Each structure stands twice: as structure tokens, then as C-alpha cells.
Structure 1
Amino acid sequence: KMENGVPTIGDSKLDSAVKQWLLHDKNPKTAAMIQEMVNQGNVEALKKCFSSRMEFGTAGLRAAMGPGISCMNDLTIIQTTQGFCKYLEVSFENLKERGVVIGHDARAHPSSGGSSKRFASLAAAVFISRGVPVHLFSDITPTPFVPFTVSHLGLCAGIMVTASHNPKQDNGYKVYWENGAQIISPHDKGISKAIEENLEPWPESWNIDEAQKSSLLKDPYEDIYKAYFKAIQAHCHHREINKSSEVKIVHTSVHGVGHIFVQEAFKTYELPPPYAVEEQKNPDPEFPTVKYPNPEEGEGVLTLSFALAEKEGATVVLANDPDADRLAMAEKQESGSWRVFTGNELGALLGWWMFYCWKQQNTDEGAVKNLYMLSSTVSSKILRAIAVKEGFHFEETLTGFKWMGNRARDLLDQGKTVLFAFEEAIGYMCSPSVLDKDGVSAAAIAGELISYLATKNTTLSQKLTAIFNDYGYHISKNSYFICHDQDVIRSLFERLRNYDGQKDSYPPECGRFSITAVRDLTTGYDSSQPDNKAILPTSRSSQMITFNFSNGGVATMRTSGTEPKIKYYTELCTPPGNSDVTSLKKELDELVDAIVEHFFQPQKNKLQPKPE
């Protein structure tokens, strides 16, 4: 249809959204993409762009780069930052004295003109237009640099523009509060409301050039680079061993930001530099050598690393995800094959090592009562087993480092020592100077652990077995199904809440495995509590149910906050001294098979299995 010489779709709501977009969007590429859809009468494409605004949650934003309110682009970045800025103005009287920090990775999307660097610059322009000082990193940094800067400089907030390990078309906007941890509720709701109230771009919000000249803009890169590596030095305990280490390690940054920072971390620890995978060491937003730039996927991402290790005679591979906040590790076995450690196994190794080093430094027996380790509720309970035997405190939080970071800050403010925190999705917090997962410091600490074990003629696999012998075997098996249909996901979880058609009734067994307790953190139900009310916080906006089994098994099913996945996590444990791993693995395999058959089967034809 034509209206006053302008093509329209004939859907008043959609026409209004398109008209407003074309009025406000000053990026010629995204504006042209929307205009072309209108000219072609492509209603379906326009609906995808304008049906719903990206939801701002505790993980901030994450979506594909492209035009419209459902995507990451110049205009939605400006709108988001305007809302965030307004929310901070209400929250902090001294925002204009303290300021914010903004960092970015190397992602770019040429067809829509979007890139992490441009988004970060636009966000800076918004804050500067309101008289707020901005510490904008002039170059790419690992995500951990942003929370470190918030804490180190005492800022009000931080923004990291990154989509971490997501596919190349995605980008994200991750937000940190003044305590150096990711935001949690109610900040997400407050920011979301403020975004809706500030959708019209302020005149100066587009003016990157003007912002670049402002005295309010500072580049913290050099100072923070030095301060960060000085801070993580505190966790280097075996410098003499490191200096003489002959262990050969390969490192890959998977086309992300990690290369120079991990090299510097090894140098800080006086470890021999790791061999870098040449094809993957430089940032490349196309991620040309991997299908998914996520080392959590295992061997497929590490193929080039293994080839380099074979060539150089290296026995260990370390890998960061593209924003370097996660760490994966693999070790060559005597058979010649490579063992990729799970996130839980690496958590056990690093947790043991952090405590071992702490114990060497602290001879006061009473000090252990002040010591804490944390992990998420879907991660291995190995830290709990170590804590019970060694006398320190262990706490479990909801899934995600936002919860562990905030809890760590609470404990630190009470004068406690938070030594280590981890989640099974290869995330490790090894230093209280970064209250988030940090793949750079974790890589250096892993390097020191590997060098130490070499002096004892012990491999990582052997050490892991020794840990399990001392504290009990903890065998886990995690995977996921892909599902883009929210109705299917809802139906799957509602069936578990109304089992066999009975309202508010959960399954009493899963195949041959009887269920002893159920915790539903979507509804707040927990059958193990006297009043049936869950202790951990609940959230109606995400699905999460945990089943405890009579054989000591634990299984959690949950939806991902950043990807179209239904994830499941399972673990079986034995008491210390019981080393019948074969039976344990067989039992866990059967439990997982039963879960897939009985809990997923009714929707199985609508779910895609994890790709091989």
C-alpha cells in the first residue's frame, strides 16, 4: 500500500513501529534494511524485527545484530543506554563524580554496520551527553577487565559489549553494579522500565565524534592492564617451580580477545609462554575455523590445538572463549588420546589447588573457619565434599555468576575470605579482585598447578583421581536439547508439575529410579523443606526443576537465559574411599537415559539434540 507516497504494510501497530524506527535510526545500513522490507511488503521479516523488544534481564541483553527492536543495533544500544543512564542517575547522587566503565570485544556485523566497538562508543556518547565520566577502553579487553575496573576505580557501574561464546551474528550488553558483580533483581526491572521511558534518542546520543573530544572521556587501558596483572600476582605461590618448569602448554583464544592477556598472565607468573594456535590467536568476528566458538563444546573447538600440541610435544591444552571469561582444559593421555575435562572436573582441580595453596600460606588452624567457596546449584557438589572434610564453608547459589559474584561481595564485606567459586559451564573465579568468572587468571593458575604436578610426576588426570579418592567420586553428565518454541518448553515443564494429569503433583519416579525430593525454583516449591518452600530465590521467568534420587543422584532441568536450550545436569557421588567408577558411570548413564525417556520423550520430536 502507498500512503502519502510512502509504502505501508496495512498493519497499524507495525506501521507505527516502522515509522518510528525510520524517524529515529541514523544508521544508514539498518534504516535501509527496514526500508527495503517495507518496499517489498515483507511482513514476516518486519514482524520478526518489531514484534517484541529485546528483554533486558539480569544477564543484560543478548541477541542477533540487525535492524529493529528485537536486535542489537545502534538505536537499541542508544535506547538501552539512555534507560540505564537514567536509572543510575536516580540510584547514585554522585554518578557525575564517580562515572562508569565500558569495554568491548572484537565482534562485528558488516551488513548491519554493527560492531562491539561502535556500540561501546555510542554507549559512551550517551553517558557523556549527561555529564557522566566514562572510562572507555580504547581497545578490546577480556570481559573480566570491566568488573575489575568497577571495583578498582570505585565506579557506579560497568558495561561490557560482548556475546561471549555465542554464534558470530550475536552481540550482547552485560551490566555490572557498583559492587563489581553483575546486576541482579530488582535492578533489571528498574533498568527495563527506564529503557521504555527513554526510547526517543537524545540529540547528543548519536554524536560519537563529539564524545571522543570530551574531557569526560578517559581511556583506562594502560592503567587497568598493569593493575589487573599486579592483582592476580597475589595468587602465584610457586614462582620458583614456575621459573624452572619444562611443561609445554598450548593455548587458544578461539578468534577472541584472550591471546595477549593469557600470554601476559603466564609472564606475570614467570611460567614459560604457552604455544599459541596461530590460526586462532588473532580476533576475528567471522570465527572461520570453528562451527561454534565455544570451548565448552569440547573436541570440535580444540582440533587445531591438539594438532599444535602433537607438533610441539605439549601435553596440556588451555582454551578461552572469545571474551576470555571462561577456561577449558584438555590433557594428553598415555593412550595418545586427549581427555577434555568437564567444567566440574576442572572445578575440582582448581578448587583443590586453591585450597592447597591457601593452606600452605595459612598456618593458623582457626583461619579456615573464615574461608568460603561457592558454586552454582547445577554444578558438582565436589566443593561441598572438600569443605566438609577440611572445615571451610561451602555455599550454593542459583545458576550464573551474577549470584556467586553478589554473594561473594556480601561475604567479603563481612570480612570473610572467598577463595574460589565456579560453575560447570567452565566458569572460574580465582580472585576476589574480579567478582565474575575470569578465564585469564584461571589460565595462569592452571599453568602453575600443571607445573607443580609435573614436579611430582603427576598428571592432571591422576590428581583428579586422587581428589576423588580423598573426597568421594563425583561423576557428572550434562547436555541439552535445542528448542526455539516457548510453548513446547512450557508444556514440557508443566507436564512435570502436573504429572499424570494431577495438578501440582511431581513424578514419584523416573523409570526404575525413585525420586526422594523435588525443588522447583520457578514456582518456589521444595519438598525437602518443612514448609515446602524453597530457600534459594525463585523466578517465574525461567524454568528450573531439581530431582533428588534415592541412589544419591541429582538431576536439574532448566532453560538457558541466553540461548534456545533446555539444559540438564546430573551427578552421582560416592563416599570417600569408594572407587568403583565403572559401576558409578553405568548407573549415571542409565539415570540419564531414563530422564531423557520419561521427562523429555513426550516432546522429543519437537526438540533438537545437542549437535555432535
Structure 2
Amino acid sequence: MGELTVNTGNPELDEKVKEWLKWDKNEKTLSELQHLVEASQITSLEKLLLNRLLFGTAGLRGRMGTGYAQMNDLVIIQTSQGLAKYLVSVNPEAKQQGVVIGHDSRHNSHRFARLAAAAFLSVGVRVYLFGRIVPTPFVPYTVLQLRAAAGVMVTASHNPKDDNGYKVYWGNGAQIISPHDKGIQKSIEEQLEPWNGAWDLEHVASDIQVSDPLEDISQRYFSQLAASMLDPAANQASPLTFTVTAMHGVSHSYMVQAFQCCNFKPFVPVKEQMDPDPDFPTVKFPNPEEGKSALDLSFKAADAANSTVILANDPDADRLAVAEKQPSGQWKVFTGNEEGAILGWWLWHCSRQRTPPPPPSQCYMIASTVSSKILRAIAQKEGFNFIETLTGFKWMGNVAHNLLQEGKTVLFAFEEAIGFMSSSEVLDKDGVTAAMRLAEMATYLAKQNKTLTEKLHDIYKTYGYHVCNNSYYICHDQAVISSMFERMRNFSGPNTYPKSVSDGKFEVANVRDLTTGYDSSQPDQCAVLPVSRSCQMITFTFTNGCVLTLRTSGTEPKIKYYSEMCASPDQKDWGALEAELGQLVECVVHELLQPQKNGLIPRPL
């Protein structure tokens, strides 16, 4: 690159431009920045260079491109240098214990993983670097199996194709939480200049401190998965044919191995989505949570093969969507809360088949606060324990770890965004293990001439109907989002929240604000769950029993709402409950989110 004159009119920005040009060695991102300078795109330069991606949901996630506010080689190097320095400073054994690094099949993921490895090698930390793409749950699994000091997974999960991410696990096998996230962020800011050898990927390939754990870990993972099956012989004789999609991600070969080791017949693959493809050509959003819009090809493949159950992984295989063909010929796509209900029931059932079964008083299930309370209802009737955490598996994984350290049995954890932890060997969501749990349960039910849908209805009849109404709006303007939530906090004067919606028809009983720490239901008005000022989250409990949460996403430009009403087991009119919840949600959205006034974009159909 020739000499570039830098004079933006902003001295701070000029310094950042020069800094980037000095440090970045990637021709593509260097060229992008040079173009912005030559075109005098000052606003874009300020946005990209005067801001930095901060640790959010246990790491970084963002659009790939030039600048400190995006995902690129230089940001990966800086992040890894900061993490490496922090790790060895707080853990004297980290160099010997090592760090596990994996990656998905997105653009740049392979390269990002090796740039991360170079940073750890620079401070003398051994590296367990997966030689090819792996499911995200393989990283936390390997951290525990090899007693590593930490783990890094390069993935943006189900985000659009232009995004990538950097997910961090601690030595307990769970995603990092405070104070490590703050400590890592501070360390990153102290290690911005690339170290000697930071760009030397040839060194990574030849360093004796680097090893590939894939063969060993695969053998351990699938052996444990096979051993966890309730009745392998019954699996072999399953009357069902399963259809499986990898959603252009990493999971196909791993799901093949999972079906083999768990003694199932081969599944029907969705061939168009079977092979990894970072451009996700057949789906607008590579996210099976989007339901029918993401599963069209799965329906076609299943219909052609006379298959009645679909198992769909997201691109990094940590989540699982399930669909079942109905007698009408239509497909029912289970929500995450519905999957949580049937998986929770199944894992409780399986625990009773152990010899001896663990005492209910020592058993635990976990769900995030925005997920269905169906596990609580099951726990109350069956005698085991239920714990609610903040949103995200970083919270559930750490709670699970603490319980296991106390000698407790953790049977299951889930969140409504189709994330399921159905094995204590992985303290994070795991779409491969969850798929095998669903396949075994569907087989068990089919032999009783019962479907997953019918079992879900049985669960509601036994423990009470739980109806949920969840969705989201898209908003790219943080100022608009902040204004919306501040309006709710000062609704009829300073520090006042809405007392009702729909002209008093639906009255608010309690308000919990986990952004500020306020909870009107507590004697001291202080929230029990941890508070995070980095995201917006307000929960309204209405006098009719509805619990409704409004929150922003840590990884996407979304304002999400979650709502639920619960019936007692003897309440038969489920339709009336659904109608009441639908009307309440409509009023909350109209009066508090004000989509038209705030220019919010509805969830795509």
C-alpha cells in the first residue's frame, strides 16, 4: 500500500487511522480502511475506529470488516492477547493446563482460530487446537475432559453470514461471567499492539505446544453419549424415520456418528443443507428458531421419505429445533418452551430408571427467567428442585457447575431460544446431545402409539397448561431503544412504571427491572437476580398471573418480548387463556413498545 495522507479533521481519529494502518496486516481490511479514508467517509471511520466491540454474551460477536468495532484479524489478535495475559495472571497453572480452541464453518473462522492460538503460544500456553470444524459444545466438553484453563470457540452461531464471534469458556467448562469478563476487557485494552509473531500462522502449524484433540475427544464424547441411552436395543428397532438438517453448518458428520453410536438407523439428511457453506444459500436466516421459514427444505425431504420427525441444528450445532408431522399432514414446529417441557419430562423419567435413582431432593433442573415455568410446575409435583437464572447459558452453566461441585444431580437446563443442556458433561447448550434425547424419547413414545405432540398435551394436563407468546422487533438505533425503556421507567413521573395497560383492563402487580436493580415485589425493592446495566430488561407481573418480559438481545439488534400464563391442571379452557394472553401482549406492544412511532421492524414471517 502506498503512502496514505491522513487528515480527517479529527486528531483522535487521525491517530486511530494511522494506528490501524501500522498494525493491520490483512490486505482486505487494510484496503477497506484505505477506501474509507480516500472517500472521506468520516462518519463511518468514527463509528469503526473510535468504538470497540466489547465483551457481551461471554465474548464478542459482530459483523466482519475493518475497524475496532467489527470482527477481523486485528481485533481477534488483540482480544486473544488480552485473554492470554489475563489468563496467566489469574491462573499460575494455565500454561501447563492449556487452552482449547475450536471453530465453525463461517468465513474467516479457521483463520481466526489460528490467530488466537498464536497469542496463547506467545505467552507459553499450550493449545488444544481442533484441526477441523466442530460443534460449539465440543469446546466446553474438552475444557472439562482435559482440565484445560479456558476455551475459545470462534462462531457466530445462527447470526447472518456476514457475522462472526469469539466465545470464551473458563476452566469450569461454563461461559465466562463477572469478574472475568471485565478483567479480560481491561486486559485487551492493555494489549492492543500486536506482539512479535502475532501474524505468524506457520509457527502455529509447527509448534510442539499445539495438538489436535479431535480424535480423542470424539471418542470420549460419543462413548458417553451412547452410555447415556436408556435402551439402545429399542433405538435400533425404532419405528420412526428421522430427518436431520445441519443448516449449512458443522453438524452433519457429528450427527451421523451420534445416530450410529446411539444405535439408531441412519437418518434422512436434507441434502441441500448437509455440507458446510458459510453463505447459507438456502435460508434467509440460518436459524432454525425462525421455524417454518428456515425449515421448508426439511419439510420437503421428510415428506418425500415418509419421515414424521425433523431434528434441525443451527450452524454451530449448539441448538436444536424439532418438528413433527400432524395427522392433518401439516407440520408442527415446537417452540423452545415446548421442547423444554417434553425434554424436562423425559429426563426426569430417565432419572427414575437409574439403579438406584437419585433422590428427588438432590436433583435439579434450571431455566432462564424468560423461559416457561413448566419445569417449576413439574418440580413442585415430583419433588425435585427448580432454579431460575438470568437469560443465557453463561448463567445456567455456572449455576450447574456450582451444584455439581456440591454433589447435586443436574438433570436438565434450558432456555426458550431452543437451547438445551441435557448432560452434565457439557455445561452449555448442546444440539447434538439434545437431538439424541429427542430421538430416544420419540422412539419410546412411538412404541406406545403416542406422538411428541400428544405427550406435550399429557404434560400440560398433568402439570398445568403453560401458554407462551414470544416474539421480537428489530431496531438498529440504540438511542431509540434507550428512549423506549427510559419512558417505561418514568411513565407517569420520575421512577414510576406503568400500572396497567388497556385503560386498566390488565393491571400490573409487580415490576422487576434487572437493568437498574429495582423489584417492587421484594421487601427492600432490590432485585434478587444479578443486575446488568449493559442491557435492557424489565419484567411485568400482572394481576391475572401473566409474566411478561421486555429485553434487548446481547448479540442481535432485537427487542424481544416473552410472556406466559399458567393454568392449574384442572383448568380446561385453554383457548380462553390463549386469547387473554394474546390480547394482553397486543396491548403491551402497542402502548409500551410503540412500534410505529419508534420505527420498529416486525419479526419476519
| Bin of the TM-score, shorter chain as denominator length | over 0.9
Question: 2:281, 2:489 → 1: CA distance?
Answer: 43
Question: 1:33, 1:494 → 2: CA distance?
Answer: 37
Q: 2:199 aligns with which of 190, 193, 206?
A: 206
Deviation, 1:579, is: 2.6
Q: Which residue of 2 aligns with 1:306?
A: 299
1:543 to 2:542 alignment: no
Gapped regions of structure 2 (runs ≥ 5):
none
Question: 2:488, 2:60 → 1: CA distance?
Answer: 30
319 and 95 in structure 1: CA distance in 2 versus 1, 3 angstrom threshold: same
Q: Which residue of 2 aligns with 1:193?
A: 186
Which amino acid letter does the alignment assign opposite residue 255 of structure 1? Answer: H
Matches within 5 A, 1:213-224: 213-224=206-217
Which amino acid letter does the alignment assign opposite residue 245 of structure 1? Answer: S
Give the SS at the match of 1:344. Answer: helix
TM-score, length of structure 1 as denominator length: 0.97
Which amino acid letter does the alignment assign opposite residue 39 of structure 1? Answer: E
1:160 to 2:153 alignment: yes
Matches within 5 A, 1:258-273: 258-273=251-266
Q: Which residue of 1 aligns with 2:545?
A: 552
Q: Is the 8 A contact 1:522 1:545 kept in 2?
A: yes
Q: 1:444 aligns with which of 436, 439, 451?
A: 436
Question: 1:383, 1:102 → 2: CA distance?
Answer: 34
Q: Is the 8 A contact 2:99 2:148 kept in 1?
A: yes
Query: Could you tell which deviates more after superposition, 52-61 or 371-380?
Result: 52-61
Question: 2:156, 2:550 → 1: CA distance?
Answer: 24
Which amino acid letter does the alignment assign opposite residue 506 of structure 1? Answer: Y
Deviation, 1:155, is: 0.4
Q: Which residue of 1 aligns with 2:394?
A: 402
Q: Which residue of 2 aligns with 1:373?
A: 365
* Structure 1 runs, 4 residues or longer, greater than 6 Å off: none
Give the SS at the match of 1:566. Answer: strand
Q: Which residue of 2 aligns with 1:508?
A: 499
1:611 to 2:600 alignment: no
Question: 2:175, 2:3 → 1: CA distance?
Answer: 48
1:30 to 2:33 alignment: no
Deviation, 1:418, is: 0.2
Question: 2:308, 2:558 → 1: CA distance?
Answer: 33
Q: Which residue of 2 aligns with 1:574?
A: 567
Question: 2:452, 2:31 → 1: CA distance?
Answer: 55
Matches within 5 A, 1:187-586: 187-363=180-356, 367-500=359-492, 502-511=493-502, 512-586=505-579
463 and 130 in structure 1: CA distance in 2 versus 1, 3 angstrom threshold: same
Q: Which residue of 1 aligns with 2:136?
A: 143
Q: Which residue of 1 aligns with 2:55?
A: 56
Q: Deviations over 1:334-391 (max 9, x none)?
A: 1111110000000000000000111122555x71110000000000000000000000
Q: Is the 8 A contact 1:143 1:323 kept in 2?
A: yes
Deviation, 1:266, is: 1.4
Question: 1:582, 1:371 → 2: CA distance?
Answer: 34
Give the SS at the match of 1:135. Answer: strand
Deviation, 1:481, is: 0.8
Question: 1:4, 1:573 → 2: CA distance?
Answer: 67
Which amino acid letter does the alignment assign opposite residue 529 of structure 2? Answer: L
121 and 250 in structure 1: CA distance in 2 versus 1, 3 angstrom threshold: same
Deviation, 1:273, is: 1.8
Q: Is the 8 A contact 1:343 1:427 kept in 2?
A: yes
Query: Could you tell which deviates more after superposition, 590-599 or 7-16?
Result: 7-16
Q: 2:165 aligns with which of 155, 166, 172?
A: 172
Q: Is the 8 A contact 1:246 1:272 kept in 2?
A: no
Deviation, 1:232, is: 1.9
Give the SS at the match of 2:432. Answer: helix
Q: Which residue of 2 aligns with 1:112?
A: none
Which amino acid letter does the alignment assign opposite residue 402 of structure 1? Answer: K
Q: Which residue of 1 aligns with 2:15?
A: 16
Q: Deviations over 1:529-572 (max 9, x none)?
A: 11111110011111111111111111000010000111000001
Give the SS at the match of 1:204. Answer: coil
Which amino acid letter does the alignment assign opposite residue 198 of structure 1? Answer: Q
Give the SS at the match of 2:560. Answer: strand
Q: Which residue of 1 aligns with 2:80?
A: 81
322 and 22 in structure 1: CA distance in 2 versus 1, 3 angstrom threshold: same
Q: Is the 8 A contact 1:58 1:185 kept in 2?
A: no
Q: Is the 8 A contact 2:127 2:210 kept in 1?
A: yes
Give the SS at the match of 1:205. Answer: coil
Question: 1:448, 1:263 → 2: CA distance?
Answer: 15
Deviation, 1:604, is: 3.8
Q: Is the 8 A contact 2:250 2:315 kept in 1?
A: yes
Question: 2:486, 2:594 → 1: CA distance?
Answer: 14
Q: Is the 8 A contact 1:256 1:282 kept in 2?
A: yes
Which amino acid letter does the alignment assign opposite residue 220 of structure 1? Answer: P
Question: 2:542, 2:57 → 1: CA distance?
Answer: 31
583 and 45 in structure 1: CA distance in 2 versus 1, 3 angstrom threshold: same
Question: 2:206, 2:470 → 1: CA distance?
Answer: 50
Deviation, 1:498, is: 1.0
Q: Is the 8 A contact 1:497 1:506 kept in 2?
A: yes
Give the SS at the match of 1:418. Answer: strand
Deviation, 1:7, is: 4.3
Deviation, 1:493, is: 0.9
Question: 1:543, 1:45 → 2: CA distance?
Answer: 26
Q: Is the 8 A contact 1:488 1:603 kept in 2?
A: no
Give the SS at the match of 2:322. Answer: strand
Which amino acid letter does the alignment assign opposite residue 34 of structure 1? Answer: L
TM-score, length of structure 2 as denominator length: 0.98
Which amino acid letter does the alignment assign opposite residue 122 of structure 1? Answer: L
534 and 323 in structure 1: CA distance in 2 versus 1, 3 angstrom threshold: same
Question: 2:438, 2:37 → 1: CA distance?
Answer: 54
